[in-house]
Amino acid sequence: MAALLYARENTVPQKIITTLGVTYQWAYQKFYIDELYLFVTKKVIFNLVGRPAAWFDRNVVDGIINRTANTTAQVSEQIKVIQSGRLQTYAYFSLGGIIGLIIVLVFAKINVRQGESEENILIVYTIVKKFIP
């Protein structure tokens, strides 16, 4: 059919265009599917879904990640004195932990024998509080 209409110059294609009018324009523009798709995706979906999701990511998710990073940096600054690389320091901390654990367990055993739970727990708490600021 295209060969009959366009092989030689003639006025038949123009007559068909004018006869079909609006229907031809809509078909020529692919029924405006591309324009409708762009409107729905860029104007509607992007504004209703994309912008709030971007705000949530920028303010909430990034805020949590940044706060975690800052907290990690602060804690590492405070405990880096403990990590001196000296074996003696590690041995002192280990020994202190073992002694502290023995004290707590001894008082817990006394507590079970005597049945004076509140008083002994208060004593253990006071002793531990003196060693751990």
Q: Among 80, 95, 122, where does a domain finish?
A: 80
- Same domain, yes or no: 76 and 89: no
Q: How far is CA 3 from CA 7, 8, 12, in A?
A: 5, 8, 12
Angle at 75 (CA atoms; ends 123, 103), nearest 5 degrees: 20
Containing domain of residue 41, as a range?
1-80
Task: Give how many domains the chain has, as a whole number.
Answer: 2
**pLDDT of res. 53:** 92
Examine the domain organization and report whether 39 and 92 are in the same domain: no
Q: What is the rounded distance in angstroms from the CA atom of residue 20 to the CA atom of residue 25?
A: 8
Question: In terms of domains, do 27 and 51 share one?
Answer: yes
Residues 13, 29: Cα–Cα separation, whole Å: 17
Same domain, 72 and 96: no
User: Would you state the pLDDT for residue 72?
Assistant: 95
Same domain membership, residue 107 and residue 50: no
71/89 same-domain check: no
pLDDT of residue 14: 84
Q: List, as one string, the DSSP characters of the chain.
A: -HHHHHSS--SHHHHHHHHHTHHHHHHHTGGGHHHHHHIIIIIIIIIIIIHHHHHHIIIIIHHHHHHHHHHHHHHHHHHTTT--S-HHHHHHHHHHHHHHHHHHHHHHHHHHHH--HHHHHHHHHHHHHHH--
pLDDT for the residue numbered 73? 94
Asked whether residue 75 falls in the same domain as residue 97, the answer is no
Q: Which of 63, 80, 97 is the last residue of a domain?
A: 80
Q: Are 21 and 4 contained in the same domain? A: yes
Give pLDDT, residue 7.
80
Rounded to whole angstroms, the Cα distance separating 25 from 118 reads: 90
Q: Answer yes or no: do 62 and 115 share one domain.
A: no
Per-residue pLDDT of the chain (133 residues; tens, 9 = 90+): 778 777 888 888 888 888 888 888 888 888 889 889 988 888 888 888 889 999 999 999 999 999 999 999 999 888 887 777 788 888 888 899 999 888 887 776 655 555 555 666 667 677 777 766 5
**What pLDDT is stored for residue 90 in this prediction?**
83
Domain final residue, candidates 61, 80, 99: 80
Is residue 26 domain-shared with residue 55, that is, in the same domain?
yes
Give the CA radius of gyration of the chain: 40
Same domain, 7 and 68: yes
4 with 54, same domain? yes
